[in-house]
């Protein structure tokens, strides 16, 4: 479960260190607040905590980035570097299945995975979260709604929009 949570956080944050911090914070919150709960309930609780922690991270980033812009505009923050967008590129190659030793198929698969990775990063956060929880984690609509603290209808809407966007962006990669 830790590796999958890390992947979710990595795609959401785009940075390995931030993803590790997010997962660690979520696990700590689960252990501190719900250690006495039935272990069967930990999965859904953890996903909800993780999604809330990711949302908190995005809010903090928005505030930090607005300060960076302000400080840069006033000349005060010349030494503040913008976040490195490439540092957290998700390596989806780890998830691929065994491929034939055919170099052409290997190249096609690598390009498709790179395109999927890029398309996932371009999705709005809620669509990204819904896609990852429903498709990658295999959670039900109800479980996803609980984890994201929204209605089942919202989950269906976000997933539908995410799937349409991904289909449009990955059209050239269909077999």
pLDDT at position 106:
67
pLDDT digits (tens, 9 = 90+) for 12-52: 888 899 999 999 999 999 988 888 888 888 888 898 899 88
Question: What is the rounded CA–CA span in Å between residue 54 and residue 48?
Answer: 10
**Which range, 6-15, 18-27, 86-95, 107-116, has the best average confidence (pLDDT)?**
18-27
Tokens found for residue 125:
């956060």
pLDDT at position 37:
85
8 Å CB contact between 137 and 4? yes
**What is the percent of the chain where pLDDT is above 70?**
72
pLDDT at position 95:
35
- Counting Cβ atoms within 10 Å, is residue 26 exposed (0-12), middle (13-18) or buried (19+)? buried
pLDDT digits (tens, 9 = 90+) for 59-83: 887 766 654 554 444 444 443 333 4
Tokens found for residue 101:
């030793």
Question: What is the rounded CA–CA span in Å between residue 124 and residue 152?
Answer: 18
CA angle 39, 33, 5 (to 5 degrees): 65
- Mean pLDDT score, 152-157: 95
- Mean pLDDT score, 4-8: 87
């Amino acid at each position: 479960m830790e590796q999958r949570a890390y992947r979710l956080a990595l795609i959401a944050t785009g940075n390995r260190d931030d993803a590790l911090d997010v997962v660690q914070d979520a696990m700590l919150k689960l252990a501190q607040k719900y250690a006495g709960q039935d272990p069967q309930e930990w999965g859904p609780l953890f996903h909800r905590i993780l999604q809330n922690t990711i949302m908190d991270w995005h809010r903090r980033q928005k505030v930090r980035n607005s300060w960076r812009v302000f400080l840069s505009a006033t000349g005060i923050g010349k030494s503040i570097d913008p976040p490195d967008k490439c540092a957290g590129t998700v390596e989806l190659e780890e998830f691929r299945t065994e491929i034939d030793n055919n170099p052409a198929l290997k190249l096609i698969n690598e390009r498709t995975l790179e395109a999927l990775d890029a398309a996932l990063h371009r999705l709005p956060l809620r669509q990204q979260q819904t896609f990852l929880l429903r498709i990658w984690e295999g959670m039900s609509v109800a479980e996803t709604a609980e984890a994201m603290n929204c209605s089942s209808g919202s989950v269906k809407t976000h997933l539908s929009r995410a799937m349409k966007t991904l289909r449009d962006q990955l059209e050239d990669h269909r077999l």
